């Protein structure tokens, strides 16, 4: 069977669990936008995890509010709004052999649901540090090879032992070294529009991966952030992402639903969409206006 999963920590954690209990011959890493755009050939021998619903898959697991299957649609697998897709996979199999990954699932829950302290954001350690090494500016084939390496490590070793691996340690050191560059570029390319910190990073190919929470240490007054950035090797599309400031004023604006309206998805506090390059600025400004209008009405 083939496993198709997301490129982030949740997708990798799902792969650790699934490859432990299923006979998986191949792992393919993709962005959710590729599924939404119909760019992926999917069949009954495929398992999908942490990705939008596709009824052609033999097994499907997800936890995003915007991915809820159509009413009455039957499928094999499990959907539940949960802190992570890894949690959904863990509950579905309910296998004693997976109990050794309980800590991995708990830490993935925290990362994917934004339960990360400001100290962790500025001084990452543990699984959160590892999560920042999975999606980099390296060629996708290189990142994919690294993600498979991390999966094989986590299946056999603890998080601490995985971080001690030479290849992982090298990536961790590189990520930590790039944080100051990331912080500087974000600061220089972000403006406050109402209560939204808006970052246009399309002209910054030198932007390191960084992490999505760091902006709130730079713009603590922002209720939500909206960002446009390149989408890897795809030159025709860019990514729009948005997320609430988990350290500041709580917002009830549904980011996932707003992203769903422009072809993406996500959760209430965070979401994203892959959009055509020429439409990106207009769509991003639409999201910014929606957020500010909502916050103004909330008083």
Per-residue pLDDT of the chain (299 residues; tens, 9 = 90+): 999 999 999 999 999 999 999 999 999 999 888 887 788 899 999 999 999 999 999 999 999 988 888 888 899 999 999 999 999 999 999 999 999 999 999 999 999 988 889 888 888 999 999 999 998 878 899 999 999 999 999 999 999 999 999 999 999 999 998 888 888 999 999 999 999 999 999 988 778 877 778 899 899 999 999 999 888 777 888 999 999 998 887 899 999 999 999 998 888 888 999 999 999 999 999 999 999 999 999 86
User: Would you say 195 and 222 are in contact if contact means Cβ atoms under 8 Å apart?
Assistant: yes
Nearby residues of 265 by Cβ (< 8 Å), 6 or more positions away:
32, 36, 52, 64, 65, 66, 67, 256, 259, 271, 272, 273
- Ordered structural domains, the chain, with CATH: 1-113 (3.40.50), 183-298 (3.10.310.30)
User: What is the Cα–Cα distance from 116 to 244, expressed in whole angstroms?
Assistant: 13
* Beta strands per DSSP E along the chain: 2-5, 26-29, 46-49, 59-62, 77-79, 190-193, 196-200, 224-231, 234-244, 265-266, 270-276
Tokens representing 102 are: 């309980």
Asked if residues 80 and 65 have their Cβ atoms less than 8 Å apart, the reply is no
């Amino acid at each position: 069977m083939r496993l198709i999963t997301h490129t982030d920590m949740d997708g990798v954690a799902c792969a650790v669990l699934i490859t432990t209990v299923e006979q998986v011959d191949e792992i393919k890493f993709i962005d959710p936008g590729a599924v939404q755009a119909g760019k992926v050939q999917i069949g009954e021998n495929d398992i999908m995890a942490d990705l939008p619903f596709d009824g052609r898959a033999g097994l499907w697991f997800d936890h995003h509010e915007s991915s809820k299957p159509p009413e009455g649609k039957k499928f094999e697998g499990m959907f539940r709004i949960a802190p992570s897709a890894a949690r959904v996979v863990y509950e579905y199999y309910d296998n004693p052999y997976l109990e050794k990954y309980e800590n991995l699932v708990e830490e993935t829950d925290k990362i994917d649901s934004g339960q990360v302290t400001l100290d962790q954001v500025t001084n990452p350690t543990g699984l959160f540090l590892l999560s920042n090494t999975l999606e980099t500016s390296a060629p996708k084939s290189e990142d994919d090879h690294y993600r498979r390496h991390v999966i094989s490590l986590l299946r056999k070793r603890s998080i601490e032992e995985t971080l001690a691996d030479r290849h992982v340690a090298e990536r961790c050191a590189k990520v930590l070294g790039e944080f100051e560059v990331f912080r500087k570029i974000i600061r220089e390319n972000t403006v406050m529009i109402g209560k939204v910190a808006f970052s246009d990073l399309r002209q910054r190919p030198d932007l390191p991966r960084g992490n999505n929470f760091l902006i709130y240490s730079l713009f603590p007054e922002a209720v939500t952030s909206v960002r446009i950035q390149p989408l890897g090797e795809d030159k025709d599309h860019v990514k729009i992402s948005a997320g609430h400031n988990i350290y500041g004023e709580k917002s009830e604006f549904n980011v996932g639903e707003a992203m769903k309206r422009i072809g993406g998805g996500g959760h209430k506090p965070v979401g994203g969409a892959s959009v055509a390059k020429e439409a990106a600025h207009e769509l991003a400004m639409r999201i910014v206006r929606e957020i500010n209008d909502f916050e103004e009405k909330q008083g």
